[in-house]
Amino acid sequence: MSKNAYIHKVLPGSPGSALLFVFHGTGADENQFLSFGRELAPSATIVSPRGDVSEQGAARFFRRTGEGVYDMDDLARATAKMAGFVKAHVEAAKPLAVFGLGYSNGANILASAVFAEPGLFDAAALMHPLISFEPQVQGSLAGRRILITAGRRDPICPPNLTTRLEAYLRADGADVTVEWHDGGHEVRPNEIEAARRLFALSLVGAGGKKNG
């Protein structure tokens, strides 16, 4: 469990506020969502790791053999490593709440961490995740807010798999919201607003619990 398990950047926020972990898509790096995270959660400290797997030079968080065909052993490795990284930062910061946001491959590693450690994140925004396997959630997601965003014409993440993921998460007790748009794999303004709402509501909820 190390704060330096990944090359990463930290954008400090208000002391005692939330920690927001942001996870980039394939081929991007730790800079992709740093300022975006600040926009979505202005008071939070933003932590942005870089994927430690290279796919022909493109950074990813775990290996695959094709689109949606994952190396499940490497996914397990990456999930355990990421959970340890998140826990180390949480332990050091002792934040009011812990949030996650990921896009594409970043959404997939975030989702996998949520399955493995349901208590790790208070809220998670999964932007265009592709979960092609049946998740085994290690506990209950009751009380956890999860946003899934998706495109109805996404060539990478078929809508039926988005709907299936929603059903899995609901069955495990999560408070799930799905935000659709009529396009493809790109992020559109309605998704951004949905993520902003998710973190604002979750921060208010966390403050209420702390003061209650």
The torsion of the CA quartet 79, 36, 120, 26, rounded to 10 degrees, works out to: -10
Place of tokens 């085994």: 136
Element spanning 46, H or E: strand 45-49
C-alpha span between 169 and 142 (Å, rounded): 10
Q: What is the rounded distance in angstroms from the CA atom of residue 188 to the CA atom of residue 49?
A: 23
Catalytic residue chosen out of the listed positions 104, 112, 128, 172: 104
Query: Has 185 been annotated as catalytic?
Result: yes
Of the candidates 56, 47, 63, the one whose C-alpha atom is nearest the C-alpha of residue 5 is 47
Q: Which residues pair with 32 in a beta bridge?
A: none
Q: Are 109 and 144 in contact (CB under 8 A)?
A: no
Q: Encoding tokens for residue 30?
A: 């730790």
- Active site (annotated) includes residue 154: yes
What end-to-end distance do the CA atoms of the chain give, in Å? 31
CB 46, CB 98: distance < 8 Å: no
Q: Which of 17, 24, 154, 172 is catalytic?
A: 154
**Partners of 115 in the β-ladder:** none
* Coil vs helix vs strand at 56: coil
By annotation, the residues acting in catalysis are 104, 154, 185
